[in-house]
């Protein structure tokens, strides 16, 4: 076999970008354009020797030994010093093609026809690439992949970064965030939201770049509106904003704080008195005014009415005047009057067995007492009122009357008088009526006793008040003493 002739770099006549399998395709390249070339300008290390099919139905011109065959080229690894290439020689520390670019070509050891063909194919591929170095190409492939990965990651990074306008209690700022929703953003920014605070949009809202988030803190307000106090919450930062938010009509109203006053987070106390219509009736005249007075007394004074002395109003003067209320002023004049009043005495009765039943004897006479009472006499708007007792003192104590009541049974007969017709006498004197009293009021009872005679016979009280049997018994005793003479006209009926 003759010694092969080595071709110089650039002699292989490969046509650029020919279709795979074409008649003039390069050995080991397949005749197609490397896809990395447009993007990276065929940077060294792109790996065009990685198990390409030896293309086609014809061999490269000037290579009559290898016409019309097709096979796989062997994969060449440039693993560094000590490696063996596909020609069986020791592998250099660097890419042998790179050393060839730096030094003149030297005759190589004789090799077989197939090895020589593979070498020529490699050199032809290198010439077609313009002398690019395979090792440098392999180094750029990972770098290119890293660049592509970083480019994609940067795109994802930029896509997740959102520009948000955040306003917290009126203080606005623009920030960048990777938070997914409003709640996560507020947590990342350390914004605590309480029960009475407002977040717009809501915490569950998904964020997108350009969104505007507003947080308004709630503030407690101890509101006294027209005399009624309650605690309310507002997200307004000024008194004026709070009034509008709470729907309080402030036109013409009294405010304990200016409308421009700022409300701190801890809140404030606010007294609001709206303008009301009040009518004051005084001295026969009605006065209607518009007022935001705090008390009825203030409203009366604003109407031009003066209260003097004991003058008062129909509603408490310290009460809150309501819209549409009518207040009547009462002109009061008065004086005191002292009166002496009688204190009745008490009567106490005790039983006495020595006295006949139905008989009473006064042991102690009763006397009335006296007290001095002071009254307040008032005239309201010219009309006298019922006197009001304001003071009382006892001047004289009353004395109790003590009476003994007999319990002894009266005797049934009187010797010397039992056989007489006492019924006929009673019928003649009184018509048989035990409680009869003559027209003069001197005599009474069945037998018309006068009081002195009756009590002389042991009777008590008046004869007409005693039982009929007692009256008959005492009439018999009188007959024994004096006969029928006490009854000069009817005595003959006995």
What's the confidence (pLDDT) of residue 460?
Answer: 82
Q: Is 176 helix (H, G, I), strand (E, B) or coil?
A: strand
- Higher pLDDT: 428 or 79? It is 428
207's tokens: 């964020």
Q: Where are the beta strands (DSSP E) in 249-366?
A: 254-255, 268-273, 276-282, 285-291, 312-313, 325-330, 332-343, 347-356, 360-364
Alpha-carbon distance of 145 to 258, in angstroms, equals 68
Half-sphere exposure of 301 (CA within 13 A, CB side): 10
What's the confidence (pLDDT) of residue 45?
Answer: 38
Alpha-carbon distance of 256 to 251, in angstroms, equals 14
Q: In the chain, what are the domains?
A: 1-160 (no CATH), 161-216 (2.170.130.30), 219-273 (3.10.20.30), 276-330 (3.10.20), 335-405 (2.20.230.10), 410-493 (1.10.530.10)
| 413, pLDDT greater than 90 | no
What's the confidence (pLDDT) of residue 7?
Answer: 39
What's the confidence (pLDDT) of residue 375?
Answer: 95
High-pLDDT (> 70) share of the chain, %: 68
Phi-psi bin for 143: left (phi > 0), alpha (psi -120 to 50), beta?
alpha
- pLDDT of 181-207, one tens digit each? 999 999 999 999 999 999 999 999 999
- pLDDT of 62-108, one tens digit each? 443 333 333 333 333 333 333 333 333 343 333 333 333 333 333 33
- Assign 252 a pLDDT band (cuts: 50, 70, 90): confident
What's the confidence (pLDDT) of residue 487?
Answer: 93
Work out whether strand 449-450 and strand 268-273 pair parallel, antiparallel, or are unpaired.
Answer: unpaired
Range name among 14-18, 189-193, 296-300, 483-487 with the lowest pLDDT average: 14-18
pLDDT (mean) for 290-298: 94
| Predicted TM-score (pTM) above 0.85 | no
Token look-up 């709470």 returns: 246
Contacts 24+ apart (CB under 8 A), 272-276: 272/223, 272/224, 272/225, 272/226, 272/243, 272/248, 273/226, 273/227, 274/225, 274/226, 274/248, 274/249, 274/250, 274/323, 275/251, 276/226, 276/321, 276/322, 276/323, 276/324, 276/325
- Higher pLDDT: 226 or 15? It is 226
CB 404 within 8 A of CB 361: yes
| 447, pLDDT greater than 90 | yes
- pLDDT of 134-185, one tens digit each? 455 455 545 555 454 455 554 445 557 899 999 998 899 999 999 999 999 9
Residue ranges of the alpha helices (H) in 1-74? 37-40
| 231, pLDDT greater than 50 | yes
383 contact partners, CB below 8 Å, separation of at least 6 = none
- pLDDT of 35-45, one tens digit each? 433 333 333 33
What's the confidence (pLDDT) of residue 263?
Answer: 94
Average pLDDT, whole number, for the chain? 75
288 contact partners, CB below 8 Å, separation of at least 6 = 277, 278, 279, 280
| 57, pLDDT greater than 90 | no
- Assign 264 a pLDDT band (cuts: 50, 70, 90): very high
């Amino acid at each position: 076999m003759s010694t092969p002739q080595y071709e110089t770099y650039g002699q292989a006549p490969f046509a650029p970008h020919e279709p795979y399998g074409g008649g003039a395709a390069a050995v080991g390249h397949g005749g197609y354009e490397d896809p990395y070339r447009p993007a990276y300008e065929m940077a060294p290390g792109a790996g065009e020797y990685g198990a390409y099919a030896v293309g086609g139905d014809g061999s490269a011109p000037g290579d009559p030994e290898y016409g019309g065959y097709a096979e796989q080229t062997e994969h060449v690894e440039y693993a560094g010093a000590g490696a063996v290439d596909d020609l069986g020689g020791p592998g250099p520390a660097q890419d042998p093609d790179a050393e060839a670019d730096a030094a003149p070509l030297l005759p190589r050891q004789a090799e077989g026809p197939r090895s020589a063909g593979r070498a020529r194919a490699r050199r032809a591929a290198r010439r077609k690439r313009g002398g690019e170095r395979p090792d440098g190409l392999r180094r750029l492939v990972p770098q290119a992949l890293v660049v592509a990965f970083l480019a994609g990651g940067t795109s994802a990074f930029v896509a997740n970064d959102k520009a948000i306008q955040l306003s917290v209690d009126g203080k606005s700022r623009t920030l960048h965030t990777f938070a997914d929703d409003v709640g996560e953003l507020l947590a990342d920014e350390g914004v605590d939201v309480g029960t009475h605070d407002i977040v717009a949009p809501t915490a569950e809202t998904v964020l997108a770049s350009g969104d505007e988030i507003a947080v308004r803190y709630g503030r407690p307000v101890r509101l006294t509106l027209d005399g009624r106090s309650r605690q309310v919450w507002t997200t307004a930062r000024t008194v004026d904003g709070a009034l509008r938010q709470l729907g309080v009509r402030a036109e013409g109203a009294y405010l304990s704080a200016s409308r421009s006053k700022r409300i701190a987070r801890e809140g404030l106390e606010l007294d609001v008195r709206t303008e009301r219509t009040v009518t004051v009736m005084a001295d026969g005249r009605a006065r209607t005014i518009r007022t935001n007075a705090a008390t009825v007394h203030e409203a009366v004074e604003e109407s031009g009415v003066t209260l003097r002395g004991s003058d008062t109003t129909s509603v408490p003067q310290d009460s809150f005047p309501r819209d549409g209320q009518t207040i009547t002023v009462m002109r009061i004049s008065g004086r005191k009057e002292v009166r002496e009043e009688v204190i009745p005495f008490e009567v106490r009765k005790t039983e006495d067995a020595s006295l006949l039943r139905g008989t009473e004897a006064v042991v102690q006479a009763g006397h009335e007492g006296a007290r001095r009472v002071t009254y307040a006499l008032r005239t309201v708007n010219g009309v006298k009122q019922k006197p009001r007792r304001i003071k009382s003192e006892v001047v004289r104590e009353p004395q109790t009357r003590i009476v003994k009541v007999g319990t002894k049974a009266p005797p049934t007969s009187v010797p010397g008088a039992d056989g007489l017709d006492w019924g006929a006498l009673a019928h003649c004197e009184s018509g048989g009526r035990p409680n009869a009293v003559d027209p003069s009021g001197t005599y009474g009872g069945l037998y018309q006793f006068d009081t002195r005679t009756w009590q002389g016979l042991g009777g008590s009280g008046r004869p007409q008040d005693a039982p009929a049997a007692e009256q008959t018994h005492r009439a018999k005793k009188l007959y024994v003493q004096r006969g029928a003479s006490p009854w000069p006209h009817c005595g003959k009926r006995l």
